[in-house]
Structures are given as structure tokens and as C-alpha cells.
């Protein structure tokens, strides 16, 4: 791609990205974002653009040559319920919402790939451009699949990417096998009888029991699971119905657990129920445990990982390409697509000075836009070569 064209495309993509950043929308509410995406895809001349897939999802289809193979490229579109702390002129205009995970950048990179491939071709087969809603709460991929994604827009394999704060711009990482974890959510409700703060012996208050339970839950990973299995159990909220001079009769403990194997997830739930019931018994209160599985582990296909590295070598400097050293305990509902077809998920650098994901000061680094677009294009041409 000529430098002048690359410079012009980067300027155009930066404008798209900042427009999307200024108008963040929560999962299944991405109406403006979806309309923006669909309009761009039609402007680029794709063969078909379908809206409303799985709620607010968009699927663009581009065909070239006579090949009968199809691959999919996926980007997520939703934002988070976080108030942005930024002085940027393109900061969020929707109070209480922001693109704190870079999905504005992911969407823009895939739009850039659609524009390049539509204009340049040089592949033989079908590309599905999947713009997915509601990734952050793990429902969007399933919604698209339940809406007949595979039947209406079939494909043989799928690729996705995510920006990575701390990794330098222009750097690329992935790995075969497990690369991102499952996410389970839990809520434990302790029920007793509240009363006056001056007379704790007269009731069955739940706050001390809740504090003990929070501490006891830490033994699941530390003492009840094999250290060979990567796992995390995090309590994120403790809510009671007490007040300054009234002891609570109800306490709610919420949090999440991460793991990479279904057997470990099952054992975490089992141990959590044992600990909750035992702690409640010791403090003479009742306990109810609700445990749900929101995200499944993301397992990269080994063969497609090698193809992703081959594509990356045409985009990135050799020293900037690496095998990810260990799986991440973050979760991604891209994994739901891998229940249907093989796929590969990769990480691209967002800069060493980038604020963390899901932080109110985070911003996607526009210097990474072309890297993502060029990787998408390289994957298509590597996997849909003429004569395959």
C-alpha cells in the first residue's frame, strides 16, 4: 500500500474512531454505532450488508473470485458504563458511558480492512465482516449465533483482535490453546436477623459473617485448587441493609471467578458452596449461593495461530512478533464463535503509556489503527489465496 494512501486512510480512520468514541453506546443499544458501520460498508461497495443481526449486530459480506471458502473477521462495538475522565475534544458526549476498552478502535480497524479489501481485492473467496454488540457482558456473540449467524452468513473460520495496554504500538502477540479465561459470576446472600448496634447478642447479624466469608473464599485458589491450574476468585461487592446504629440482617456478597478448564470452574463452585454453608452455620445465619457462567474459555486453534503469525510477519517487524507467555485471566465472548468454527484471537499493542482497560482515563491509541487494519487484510489474503 502506497504511503500516501496509508496516510490518507489513517486520517480517515482516526476521524471515524474519534466520532465513535464521542458517541459510546451500551450493549444492545448500539443503534448509532451500527448505523454508522452499515453506512460505511455500503459506501465501500460490499456485496451485502445486513443490520439487526442479534439485536444491533451488523454483518457485511464481500466476495471476490470463484473460491468457495469463507472466513470471518470480528470486531466488538459496545461501550462501558464508566464516566470518562478526559479533556480530549472527542471525549464521550453520553454521560456515564465511555469506550474504556477500545471497541471504538476495533470497529474502526475492521472498517478500514473492509474499505481496503473492497477497493483492492486480491483474494479468492468470501469475507464476512462481523460487527458484534454486547461483548462486555458476554451476550452479543450468543445473540448473533441464536439469530442464525452461521446459517445466514456461513464461514469456515474466524479471526479477532484486541488492543493491549502496556504492549508497544506495532507489537503483536498470540498463542495456541487457552489465551483468555472463562468468567463465572456469583452472589452469596446471608440471611439473619438485624437489630440494635448496642445489642448484637439479641439478633443474628450478618456483617461479621460476611467479612469472615470474604476471607474464607480466598482459600479456594490458595488451598483447594491445584497450583498448576490458573484461576482467580474475586469478591467485588459487599452490600448490607445495616446503617450507622443498626446491625444488618441481610448481606450480599458478589464477585467473579476466572478459570481455563470446565473442571476447575465446577470445583470453584463446589468449594464456594461448601465454604458458604460452613461459614453461615458457624455464625448462625442462612446462606444462598447463585453461581452463573457468563464467558467460556477462549481456546485458539493451533493451526490458525500459525497462519496468524504468517500474516503478522507481513505487517509487523520480526522483533515485534511474539508468542504470548501465558493466558490472560480476562474474558472475551469471541470464544462463543469458537464453539462453532476454529479461530484465532490476537493482541495488538496500544502503547506502553496506555491507561489500563476499563479505566476512566483509557483511550485507544490511533497510532495502532493501521496495524490492525493491515493485519486483517493480511489474514484474508493469506487464508483466501487464489488457487487454494
- C-alpha closest to that of 171 among 298, 308, 344, 315: 315
**Secondary structure class of 164 (helix, strand, coil):** strand
**SS3 of residue 70 by DSSP:** strand
Contact 310, 382 (CB under 8 A): yes
DSSP class of residue 334 equals G
SS (H, E, C) 92-147: CCCCCCECCCCHHHHHHHHHHHHHHHHHHCCCCEEEEEEEECCCCCCCHHHHHHHC
Query: Which position has the grid cell 469472615?
Result: 212
The pLDDT, as a whole number, for residue 388 is 57
pLDDT at 1: 44
Instruction: Give the homologous superfamily in CATH for domain 3-180+297-383.
Output: Zn peptidases (3.40.630.10)
3-class DSSP state of 339: helix
- Asked if 334 and 345 touch (Cβ cutoff 8 Å), the reply is yes
Which residues, listed in sequence order, are joined to residue 80 by a DSSP beta bridge?
Answer: 98
Three-state DSSP at 291 gives strand
Q: What grid cell was written down for 160?
A: 479477532
Q: What is the spatial order of strands in the sheet that 286-295 belongs to?
A: 231-240, 250-259, 182-191, 286-295
Provide the pairing of β-strand 157-164 with 70-76. Answer: parallel
Give residue 5's pLDDT: 81
Residue 167 DSSP label: S
Q: 3 is written with which cell numbers?
A: 504511503
User: Which of these, 190, 166, 153, lies nearest to 73 by C-alpha position?
Assistant: 153
pLDDT value at residue 290: 98
d(CA 344, CA 173): 11
Give the pLDDT of residue 144. Answer: 98
* Cα–Cα distance, 169 to 352 (Å, whole number): 8
Q: For residue 30, what pLDDT is reported?
A: 98
> Per residue of the chain (388 residues), what is the pLDDT tens digit?
447 789 999 999 999 999 999 999 999 999 999 999 999 999 999 999 999 999 999 999 999 999 999 999 999 999 999 999 999 999 999 999 999 999 999 999 999 999 999 999 999 999 999 999 999 999 999 999 999 999 999 999 999 999 999 999 999 999 999 999 999 999 999 999 999 999 999 999 999 999 999 999 999 999 999 999 999 999 999 999 999 999 999 999 999 999 999 999 999 999 999 999 999 999 999 999 999 999 999 999 999 999 999 999 999 999 999 999 989 999 999 999 999 999 999 999 999 999 999 999 999 999 999 999 999 999 999 999 975 5
182-295 adopts what CATH topology? Alpha-Beta Plaits (3.30.70)
Domain ranges of the chain: 3-180+297-383, 182-295
Q: How many Å apart are CA 147 and CA 132, to the nearest integer?
A: 12
Note the pLDDT of residue 386.
72
User: According to the model, what pLDDT value does residue 334 have?
Assistant: 98
Between helix 369-383 and helix 3-22 the angle, nearest 10°, is 110
- CA proximity to 304, closest of 338, 280, 332, 253: 338
pLDDT at 387: 59
Question: Among 331, 263, 252, 234, which Cα is nearest to 290's?
Answer: 252
List all residues 6 or more positions away from 259 whose beta carbon is below 8 Å from its beta carbon: 181, 182, 184, 229, 230, 231, 232, 265, 268, 297
Amino acid at each position: 500500500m502506497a504511503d500516501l494512501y496509508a496516510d490518507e486512510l489513517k486520517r480517515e480512520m482516526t476521524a471515524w474512531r474519534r466520532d465513535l468514541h464521542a458517541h459510546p453506546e451500551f450493549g444492545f443499544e448500539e443503534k448509532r454505532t451500527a448505523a454508522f458501520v452499515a453506512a460505511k460498508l455500503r459506501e465501500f461497495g460490499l456485496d451485502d450488508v445486513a443490520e439487526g443481526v442479534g439485536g444491533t449486530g451488523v454483518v457485511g459480506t464481500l466476495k471476490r473470485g470463484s473460491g468457495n471458502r469463507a472466513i470471518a473477521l470480528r470486531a466488538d462495538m459496545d461501550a462501558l458504563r464508566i464516566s470518562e475522565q478526559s479533556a480530549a475534544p472527542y471525549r464521550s458526549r453520553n454521560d456515564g458511558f465511555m469506550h474504556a476498552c477500545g471497541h471504538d478502535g476495533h470497529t474502526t480497524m475492521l472498517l478500514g480492512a473492509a474499505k481496503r479489501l473492497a477497493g483492492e481485492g486480491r483474494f479468492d473467496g468470501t469475507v464476512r465482516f462481523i460487527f458484534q454488540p454486547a461483548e462486555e457482558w458476554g451476550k452479543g456473540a450468543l445473540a448473533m449465533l441464536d439469530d442464525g449467524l452461521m446459517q445466514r452468513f456461513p464461514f469456515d473460520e474466524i479471526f479477532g483482535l484486541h488492543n493491549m495496554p502496556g504492549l508497544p504500538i506495532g507489537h503483536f502477540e498470540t498463542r495456541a490453546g487457552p489465551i483468555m479465561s472463562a468468567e463465572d459470576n456469583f452472589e452469596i446472600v446471608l440471611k439473619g436477623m438485624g437489630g440494635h448496634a448496642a445489642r448484637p447478642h439479641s439478633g443474628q447479624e450478618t456483617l461479621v459473617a460476611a467479612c469472615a466469608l470474604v476471607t474464607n473464599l480466598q482459600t479456594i485458589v490458595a488451598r483447594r485448587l491445584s497450583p498448576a491450574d490458573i484461576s482467580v476468585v474475586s469478591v467485588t461487592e459487599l452490600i448490607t441493609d445495616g446503617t450507622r446504629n443498626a446491625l444488618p440482617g441481610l448481606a450480599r456478597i458478589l464477585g467473579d471467578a476466572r478459570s481455563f478448564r470446565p473442571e476447575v470452574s465446577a470445583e470453584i463452585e463446589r468449594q464456594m458452596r461448601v465454604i458458604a454453608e460452613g461459614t453461615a452455620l458457624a455464625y448462625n445465619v442462612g446462606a444462598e449461593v447463585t453461581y452463573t457462567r457468563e464467558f467460556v474459555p477462549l481456546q485458539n486453534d493451533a493451526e490458525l495461530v500459525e497462519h496468524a503469525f504468517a500474516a503478522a510477519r507481513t505487517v509487523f517487524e520480526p522483533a515485534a512478533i511474539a508468542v504470548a507467555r501465558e493466558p490472560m485471566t480476562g474474558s472475551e465472548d469471541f470464544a462463543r464463535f469458537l464453539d462453532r468454527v476454529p479461530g484465532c484471537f490476537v493482541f495488538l499493542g496500544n502503547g506502553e503509556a496506555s491507561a489500563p482497560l476499563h479505566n476512566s482515563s483509557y483511550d485507544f491509541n490511533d497510532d495502532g489503527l493501521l496495524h490492525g487494519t493491515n493485519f486483517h487484510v493480511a489474514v484474508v489474503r493469506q487464508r483466501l489465496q487464489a488457487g487454494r
